[in-house]
Structure 1
């Protein structure tokens, strides 16, 4: 019988995952396409809010927004690119999330524009809105032989 190579998170894994999320400005979003039933992937602008949870500014016209409105189950993938070497050895984080529109985005706008100043051109358009991507579970691949399962608490999100 083989041993599970995925480990429970310790302090170093928690810190690495939190650093990846804290530095995040973009992510790959995976949703369930309601028209086809197949996964759909999009690169999105994404960062954490004041609570440490991922948030995204999405156009309501996009396939991923319509998919999230139909089924809030989704996932994001974030990597921490290295300066050199094989990208398959760079730390990366997959997070299963439940997405929901942010009803009161007060405070998010200024925080968002500080990280994404070019978003000023479209942030106030009527089809754009913030979505909170509440983590349900996560998987950190911190390099060869360093795979960890994480909880929202491990990510610093209550």
Structure 2
């Protein structure tokens, strides 16, 4: 039987870190009700410590879902313009969402860092219903292309 999951090495960690660092958006999977998953696209950046970070509206279905069930998953990675879409690397993060209130002591630092990565988000920062959500990664799966799958830990993603 062929080994499906490869031993994690420095190349896998570097690729995962690069995917996370360069990601401007992700697919976010949440549970809107028991047995009813939902996937949506969110803008993405990294927090001061490298954790995935997004700016989301209190009005959004996925925000309400994260309040009820913090467990979620993010998919990061873009298929290339040519070739098999499944041959391009992608990173799945299993995480717990932490909603960050606007009056948090690090809000301004997060805002400045987030805007460096997503400058068009400045409009949303001024709206009262938007807040940051930090994704505390519990584990990850890197698919680096056909036959190149790796289980990763949060430490493997640290820059």
Work out whether the TM-score is over 0.5. Answer: yes
8 Å Cα contact 1:21/1:78 also seen in 2: yes
Q: CA deviation at 1:81?
A: 3.4
Out of 111-120 and 86-95, give the one that drifted further. Answer: 111-120
Structure 1 distance, partners of 2:66, 2:3, is 33
Structure 2 spans left out of the alignment, 5+ residues: none
TM-score of the two chains, using structure 2 as the length reference: 0.91
Aligned position for 2:150? 148
Question: Which residue number corresponds to residue 109 of structure 2?
Answer: 107
Partner of 1:65: 63
How many pairs were matched up? 155
1:43-82 counterparts in 2 under 5 A?
43-82=41-80
- Is contact 2:45–2:118 with CA below 8 Å preserved after alignment? no
- Report how far residue 83 of structure 1 moved: 4.1
Within the alignment, does 1:15 sit opposite 2:14 as a pair? Answer: yes
4+ runs deviating over 2 angstroms: 80-84
Aligned to 1:38: 36
Task: Give the 3-state SS of the residue equivalent to 1:19 in structure 2.
Answer: helix
2:78 & 2:15 partners in 1: Cα distance?
Answer: 10
Q: For 2:79, what is the secondary structure of its paired residue?
A: coil
Q: Which runs of 5+ in 1 are unaligned?
A: none
2:89 counterpart residue number: 91
| Structure 1 or 2: more helix by fraction | 2
TM-score relative to the length of structure 1:
0.92
Match of 1:138 among 137, 140, 146: 140
